[in-house]
């Protein structure tokens, strides 16, 4: 019979937050060199834990990791931890439109014009 087992991997950052995960079933070419193998006898699709959701989201929509690795298993991060990460994200630089608007506002203010 065809052996149905696949290896499941995660990548963590310096704070042990899980930033990526995959199964070598659909992704046989992905390099596992820097990854942690969390299941050597998993199914074809990636799961954080046996019987869990297939290919679960690992980040919020704005890119903040939802889980951390405690050395043995994936643990859901708390709302407070996620909020703290969100607060620490630097504001993106102003877009060209925002920059232009700021310039126009500045020139208008210099001339005493209200827009």
Residues at the interface with other proteins (CB under 8 A) = 1-4, 19-20, 22-23, 25-30, 44-46, 53-57, 59, 61-63, 89, 92-93, 95
State in angstroms the smallest separation of the CB of 35 from other proteins.
Answer: 13
State how far the Cα of 69 lies from the Cα of 15, in Å rounded to an integer: 9
Q: 20 or 36, CB closer to other proteins? A: 20
- Cβ proximity to other proteins: between 61 and 111 the closer is 61
Q: Which is nearer to other proteins, 58 or 77 (CB)?
A: 58
């Amino acid at each position: 019979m065809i052996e149905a087992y696949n290896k499941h991997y995660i990548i963590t950052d310096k704070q042990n937050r899980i930033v990526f995960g995959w199964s070598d079933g659909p992704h046989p070419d992905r390099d596992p060199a820097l990854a942690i193998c969390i299941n050597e006898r998993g199914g074809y699709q990636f799961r954080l834990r046996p019987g869990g959701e297939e290919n679960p989201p690992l980040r919020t929509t704005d890119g903040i990791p939802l889980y951390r690795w405690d050395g043995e298993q994936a643990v859901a991060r708390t709302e407070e931890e996620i909020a703290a990460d969100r607060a620490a994200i630097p504001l993106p630089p102003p877009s060209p439109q925002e920059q232009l608007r700021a310039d126009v506002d500045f020139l208008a203010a210099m001339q005493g014009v209200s827009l």
